[in-house]
Each structure stands twice: as structure tokens, then as C-alpha cells.
């Protein structure tokens, strides 16, 4: 970082880009930021690191990367029902590339404005490209939606569509292709991978309705598995209910279901609703969420096949369908 000091880099590219909030008593430029949490609320905190070559392809559009780096944290806040407020950024850069920094900061700032989250501190280092963002939000005391809280007979819902990001990842890495996808489908899938929309508003609206929730970063089965294990429960899914985009509805149905079950990076919410709130959830979020199954006392996550057999959803990989 010979040309720009750490201070001036954050100052120059990031400081003015994000919203200026009244609860930031002291922002970038001192040893610490000073932040005011509303009375009777608690702070929800989460950090994620994205490393080049592991979490994103080398050469990915910097604006998309800026968006995604913040989106993954916002998605964690969404899963708790928290309201985004502040974030910090640690950036490791191999070199000072002004064009890259400009694009990255724009992508970051556009999403920050959308969710009124302010950058309140940062650090830059020289090294292989990596981005760490810690997000802070707040939620009324004792109201945060946690992974624990699911009970026998509760219903399992997901937001949006599943499997798009996983399909895009496999298209981009040449692990899979399907001629049936047109250019529009491919652009859509790539956007779902590179610029996910965190379900922040939905998460906040689910406070008091959902008894447990998680964001789908590692795939539905893995993430729902965190909920069932935490609660000592199991689940039964109706695979025909898994919500698929119009792009994934075109491909082999079983493969689309595997993408929806096993691939990560969708950043949709998976949430659990107790019986007294089914009707309200169905009505308020019609078209936004889909009921895909039920919490059971099974040991694991299962589905019922066409011949009424109970089959555990475990270890069906893409390999079975690809090639």
C-alpha cells in the first residue's frame, strides 16, 4: 500500500458511500466507532470472510463482489429477524487497483444504502484477495429468531427459489450444462449466484411468527439439519414443493431437486412456523414463501417417494445426475 495509506484508502473509497446514521456517535477516523443501540434492544453480530479462489472466482466483477460481501452478512441478520445498522470491513488486497476498488465500493455501497447500514470502521492489508465484513444489527430483547425453538408438527417454510446459485456455480465451473437453458436463464442464474438478495425485510416480519430460522448458505439439507439437530428433531419434506425458478423448472426435475436440496449460496431463509401462525404466514407472505415440509421426531431428514416409502435425504450427490 505504498500509494495510499490505510486511512486514506478507506476514507477515499468507502467513507462517504454508505448512509450516515444518527445512531453512529463516532464513525470512521478514531480508534473505535461509538454506536448507540436503541433501548430494550440487543445487538446481533455476525462475520463472514470471502477468499478469492475459494468463495469466489478469480476475476469476478468487483461490483458484484462488493454486493455479495455485504449480502452474506445481511442474510445472517435477516435469519435472526434483526434490523441492519452498522458494519466493519477488513480488506486484504494483492495490489492497489483503483478500478477494482471503485467497482467493489460501488457494489458495497448500493446494497448498504438499500438496507441503511453504515460502514463504521475498516482495515486494509496487503496479501491475497480476501474480504471480511462484520455486520451489526439490533433486535428487540428476547425477540430474535434463533435456530432453537422448533417443535413436533411445526411447518417448514423457505423464501424465494432454491438451487439457482448452485446451478450457476456448476455452469461457470463447467461441471454441468444443459442446452435447454437460454441466455436469459443463464444471466438470471449468474445474478442469483453473484448478487444474492438477503431477505432482510421478511426476516424482520417473521419476528413473533417463526419459532426458528436459518439462512440457506450451505444448502437446504445442511442448514435445515442445523435446526433439526439443535432441537433434537427430524423433518419430512415434500420434494415436489421445493420452489424452483423458471430456469430450473426447465431442467431434469430430479437434478433441479438436488440443486435445491444440496447447493449453497442461495441466501434464502428457511424458517419454522408453529400451528397457531400457519394461517397468518400463508396469507401475509403469499407468493414469497413456500411450505416444504414438517418437523417430525424422525432421526434425520426424509421424504416419501411415489411408492409411499420413507427415504432419508442423505448423500444424494450431483454426481449421480451429471454426465
Judged by the rule CB under 5 A, the positions of this chain that interact with Mg ion are: 76, 215
Neighbours of 70 (CB within 10 A): 28
**Residues 210 and 145: beta-carbon distance below 8 Å:** yes
Shortest spacing between CB 164 and Mg ion, in angstroms? 18
Q: Which is nearer to Mg ion, 61 or 265 (CB)?
A: 265
Q: Which is nearer to Mg ion, 61 or 268 (CB)?
A: 268
- The residue behind cell 465451473 is 173
Q: Which is nearer to Mg ion, 63 or 76 (CB)?
A: 76
Q: Which is nearer to Mg ion, 27 or 166 (CB)?
A: 166
Q: Can you tell me the distance from the alpha carbon of 265 to that of 282, in angstroms, rounded to the nearest whole number?
A: 25
* HSE value, Cβ hemisphere, 13 Å, CA-based, for 22: 1
**Residues 291 and 155: beta-carbon distance below 8 Å:** yes
Q: Which is nearer to Mg ion, 140 or 218 (CB)?
A: 218
Q: Which is nearer to Mg ion, 215 or 265 (CB)?
A: 215
Instruction: Collapse the DSSP code of 169 into the 3-class scheme (helix H, G, I; strand E, B; otherwise coil) and give the result.
Output: helix
- The residue behind cell 462517504 is 16
Q: Can you tell me the distance from the alpha carbon of 87 to that of 111, in angstroms, rounded to the nearest whole number?
A: 12
**Residues 63 and 103: beta-carbon distance below 8 Å:** yes
Shortest spacing between CB 188 and Mg ion, in angstroms? 24
Indicate the burial class of 146 (C-beta count within 10 angstroms; 0-12, 13-18, 19 or more): middle
Grid cell at residue 203: 426476516
Shortest spacing between CB 217 and Mg ion, in angstroms? 5
Q: Can you tell me the distance from the alpha carbon of 211 to that of 157, in angstroms, rounded to the nearest whole number?
A: 11
Q: Which is nearer to Mg ion, 33 or 144 (CB)?
A: 144
Q: Which is nearer to Mg ion, 237 or 269 (CB)?
A: 269
Shortest spacing between CB 40 and Mg ion, in angstroms? 25
Shortest spacing between CB 67 and Mg ion, in angstroms? 17
Shortest spacing between CB 289 and Mg ion, in angstroms? 18
Indicate the burial class of 47 (C-beta count within 10 angstroms; 0-12, 13-18, 19 or more): middle
Q: Can you tell me the distance from the alpha carbon of 51 to that of 23, in angstroms, rounded to the nearest whole number?
A: 31
Shortest spacing between CB 4 and Mg ion, in angstroms? 33
Shortest spacing between CB 64 and Mg ion, in angstroms? 20
**Residues 225 and 313: beta-carbon distance below 8 Å:** no
* HSE value, Cβ hemisphere, 13 Å, CA-based, for 148: 2
Amino acid at each position: 500500500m505504498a500509494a495510499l495509506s490505510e486511512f486514506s484508502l478507506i476514507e477515499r473509497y468507502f467513507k462517504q458511500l454508505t448512509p450516515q446514521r444518527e445512531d453512529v456517535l463516532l464513525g470512521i477516523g478514531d480508534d473505535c466507532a461509538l454506536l448507540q443501540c436503541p433501548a430494550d434492544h440487543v445487538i446481533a453480530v455476525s462475520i463472514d470472510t470471502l477468499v478469492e479462489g475459494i468463495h469466489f472466482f478469480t476475476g469476478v466483477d468487483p461490483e458484484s463482489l462488493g454486493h455479495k460481501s455485504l449480502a452474506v452478512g445481511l442474510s445472517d441478520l435477516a435469519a435472526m429477524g434483526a434490523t441492519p445498522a452498522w458494519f466493519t470491513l477488513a480488506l486484504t488486497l494483492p495490489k492497489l487497483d483503483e478500478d477494482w476498488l471503485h467497482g467493489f465500493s460501488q457494489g458495497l455501497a448500493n446494497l448498504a444504502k438499500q438496507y441503511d447500514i453504515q460502514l463504521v470502521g475498516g482495515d486494509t492489508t496487503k496479501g491475497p484477495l480476501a474480504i471480511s465484513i462484520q455486520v451489526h444489527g439490533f433486535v428487540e430483547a428476547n425477540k430474535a429468531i434463533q435456530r432453537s425453538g422448533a417443535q413436533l408438527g411445526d411447518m417448514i417454510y423457505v423464501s424465494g427459489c432454491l438451487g439457482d446459485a448452485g446451478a450457476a456455480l456448476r455452469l461457470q465451473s463447467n461441471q454441468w450444462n444443459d442446452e435447454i437453458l437460454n441466455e436469459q436463464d443463464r444471466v438470471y442464474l449468474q445474478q442469483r449466484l453473484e448478487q444474492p438478495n438477503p431477505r432482510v425485510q421478511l426476516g424482520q416480519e417473521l419476528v413473533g411468527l417463526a419459532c426458528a430460522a436459518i439462512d440457506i448458505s450451505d444448502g437446504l439439507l445442511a442448514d435445515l439439519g442445523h435446526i433439526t439437530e439443535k432441537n433434537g428433531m427430524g423433518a419430512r419434506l415434500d420434494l415436489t414443493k421445493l420452489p424452483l425458478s423458471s430456469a430450473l423448472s426447465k431442467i431434469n426435475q430430479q437434478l433441479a431437486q438436488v440443486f435445491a436440496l444440496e447447493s449453497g449460496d442461495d441466501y434464502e431463509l428457511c424458517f419454522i412456523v408453529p400451528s397457531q401462525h400457519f394461517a397468518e404466514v400463508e396469507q401475509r407472505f403469499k407468493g414469497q414463501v413456500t411450505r416444504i415440509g414438517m418437523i417430525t421426531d424422525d432421526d434425520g431428514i426424509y421424504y416419501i417417494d411415489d411408492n409411499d416409502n420413507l427415504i432419508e435425504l442423505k448423500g444424494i450427490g450431483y454426481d449421480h445426475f451429471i454426465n
